[in-house]
Structure 1
Amino acid sequence: MLDLSQILTYSLALGIAAAIPGPGMAALVARSVSGGIFSGFCVLLGLILGDLTYLSFAVFGLAMIAEHFNALFQLVRWGAALYLCYLAWQFWFANHQAIEVGKATNKKELLSAALSGLTITLGNPKTIAFYLAILPLVIDLEAVSLQTWALILMPLTILVLLGVGALFIFAAVRIRHLLSSQHAQQILFRGAATIMIAAAASMLIR
């Protein structure tokens, strides 16, 4: 069972890591600006699912198993990097249009937003580094039971990421009127694309 100091340390470390600009938050802001609150929260849902996946890997030691299958690990790493490059290409050459506040978003777009959030997180070097390198320094993973994982770490991770992500979403929606022009959207999306390219390069270098 985790004590209060470990819970607070984990929450603080996760909150700081989530707030640091990266491909996930870049996509979250871009989607929130272009699609509104619902699109933003769908991306956030995908981001949270990705984090929960790596949290589970770290807790149950699956990351250590993966290290023994170097060829598979390399394949996954290259696949994630290529996907980030693909997303960067889409963001860079996106066809920007005037933002219509209150426009309904269809289910296909919301599903696409959620899947984008999930895949971005799974290929995000920052997320991988946090759960596989920083997390063991914050929490004694050998002492984490199934009950602790399910009743404390999972809900805590969801709450922290939901809180941080919601701040980014509402801030992005708040300034939508400033980004209504095609030029402003182009700057935003190309900035997000640049972050994704940097993340892909970082993944391959590491």
Structure 2
Amino acid sequence: MLGTAQILSYIAALGLAAAIPGPGMTALVARSVSSGAVTGFTMLTGLILGDLIYLSIAVFGLAVIAHSFTPLFTLINWAAAIYLCWLAWQFWKYNPQAIDIDRRADRKELFSAWFSGLTITLGNPKTIAFYLAILPLVMSLDNVSLQTWGMMLVPLTILVLLAVGAIFILAALRIRHFLTSAHAQKILFRSAGAIMLLAAVGMVAKTL
């Protein structure tokens, strides 16, 4: 069972890591601006699921196995980098459109947002670094049982990321009215694309 100090340290570390702008939160803001709250929160569920996957990998010791198979780990890094580059290109060439605040997203758009959130997190070097490098410094993973993982770490992770993500989404909704111009939308989406490209470069640099 984790002590109070470890729990508070985990909450603080995860909250800080999530709040630092990266590919995930940048994409979340861009999607929320262009498509609204429902799409934003749908994407957030994908982002959170990706975090839970890495949390599980760290807790159950699979990180050691992953690092043991260097060629496989390198291949995963390159695949993630290529995907982030593709996303960066999609954001860069985004065609600004009039924002319809009352428009409802269809199922296809919601699934796309969810899947983008999941894959961005899985390919996010910041997320990988947190769970596979920083988390072991915050708490002793050898003492984390299946019950502690399921009853404590998973709910805490969901609540912290939901709280941080909600702040980004609500902030994005507040500025939607100021992003009606094509120029403002281009700046937002191209900034998101640039951040994703930098993340992809970071993924490749780790394998060199």
Using the size of structure 2 for normalisation, the TM-score is 0.98
Deviation at 1:134, TM superposition (A): 0.5
Q: What are the ranges of 5 or more consecutive residues in structure 1 without an aligned counterpart?
A: none
Deviation at 1:67, TM superposition (A): 1.2
Describe the superposition over 1:97-141 as per-residue Cα deviations: whole angstroms up to 9, x where unpaired: 010011011010000000000000000000000001100000100
Counterpart residue type for residue 198 of structure 1: L
Q: What are the ranges of 5 or more consecutive residues in structure 2 without an aligned counterpart?
A: none
Counterpart residue type for residue 39 of structure 1: T
State the partner residue of 2:127. 127
Structure 2 CA distance for aligned equivalents of residues 34 and 152 of structure 1: 35
SS in 1 for 2:40: helix
SS in 2 for 1:101: coil
Instruction: Tell me the C-alpha RMSD between the 2 structures.
Output: 0.5
Q: Indicate whether 1:179 and 2:179 are aligned.
A: yes
Counterpart residue type for residue 48 of structure 2: I
SS in 2 for 1:178: helix
State the partner residue of 2:42. 42
- Pairing 1:27-176 to 2, within 5 Å after superposition: 27-176=27-176
State the partner residue of 1:189. 189
Structure 2 CA distance for aligned equivalents of residues 104 and 116 of structure 1: 19
SS in 1 for 2:101: coil
Counterpart residue type for residue 123 of structure 1: G
Counterpart residue type for residue 193 of structure 1: G
Structure 2 CA distance for aligned equivalents of residues 107 and 173 of structure 1: 21
Structure 2 CA distance for aligned equivalents of residues 186 and 43 of structure 1: 21
Structure 1 CA distance for aligned equivalents of residues 40 and 149 of structure 2: 27
Counterpart residue type for residue 15 of structure 2: G
Counterpart residue type for residue 185 of structure 1: Q
Structure 1 CA distance for aligned equivalents of residues 85 and 119 of structure 2: 12
Counterpart residue type for residue 125 of structure 2: P
Q: How many residues align?
A: 206
Describe the superposition over 1:34-61 as per-residue Cα deviations: whole angstroms up to 9, x where unpaired: 0000111011111100000000000001
Counterpart residue type for residue 87 of structure 1: L
Deviation at 1:71, TM superposition (A): 1.3
Structure 1 CA distance for aligned equivalents of residues 75 and 203 of structure 2: 12
Counterpart residue type for residue 150 of structure 2: A
Structure 2 CA distance for aligned equivalents of residues 197 and 97 of structure 1: 23
Deviation at 1:72, TM superposition (A): 1.1
